[in-house]
A and B are shown apart, each in its own frame.
Chain A
Amino acid sequence: DAGVIQSPRHEVTEMGQEVTLRCKPISGHNSLFWYRQTMMRGLELLIYFNNNVPIDDSGMPEDRFSAKMPNASFSTLKIQPSEPRDSAVYFCAIHQAGGAGRKDTQYFGPGTRLTVL
């Protein structure tokens, strides 16, 4: 977890409110991923960025979800308006290219547990 910082760790909000999840990856990565995890659907990729550019957002459930990566050290995932079915754990992960033992693997943050009432 040390390579990726996510905030907040827990978020409880009411339906209709805007929610912003934050991710601060360590330097040296090329790609950043946002995942959602639920008991029913498991770990699903929402969107990922390569060199700060969104590459594949086909997993974003609907227009209520948006993600940005203004620089290599910061990314946000926003839900507006939030709904109860958005309740899940949201993970940010990075891919580090190069280096023995690190190639082609992803490093996950601790996640944000979101509850929408």
Chain B
Amino acid sequence: SQKIEQNSEALNIQEGKTATLTCNYTNYSPAYLQWYRQDPGRGPVFLLLIRENEKEKRKERLKVTFDTTLKQSLFHITASQPADSATYLCALSLGSGGSNYKLTFGKGTLLTVNP
């Protein structure tokens, strides 16, 4: 069966350091992978999308890599700030169109950035 694992349930880092979160999957050939941020009491918010033919994507302090051979994505937050503290979810999809909009989510990693 398809399985998505995020490396740890919780990650604590010091302000200013780079946070690295991992998403691994098995029995899946996603067309693209997405990362979402979820704050307590709120719905997930989209951050970045990376396609199967892309190796890396950046947005401000965020960077995502996608290795379809290793079946792994890494999510980096550089120069982390306490405001980055949240749960980060990875999600996989088969692609665009019709039923392929369906996303399968990992359970998330709770990131805490200590001042």
Contact = CB atoms under 8 A, between A and B. Distances in A.
A93 B43 contact: yes
A111 B42 contact: yes
B102 interface: yes
A106 B46 contact: yes
B32 to A, nearest CB: 7
The binding surface of chain A is classed by DSSP as: strand
Interface residues of B, number: 23
A45 B83 CA distance: 29
B76 to A, nearest CB: 20
**B46, B49, B95, B96 — most chain A CB neighbours (10 Å):** B46
A103 B51 CA distance: 12
The binding surface of chain B is classed by DSSP as: mixed
Contacts of B32: 104
Interface string A73-112: 0000000000000000001010100000001111111110
A111 B95 CA distance: 25
**A42, A93, A110, A111 — most chain B CB neighbours (10 Å):** A42
B106 A104 contact: no
A93 B101 CA distance: 12
A42 B111 CA distance: 16
Interface of B: 32, 34, 41-46, 49, 89, 93, 95-96, 98-99, 101-108
Interface of A: 1, 4, 30-31, 33, 41-45, 48, 50, 55-56, 91, 93, 95, 103-111
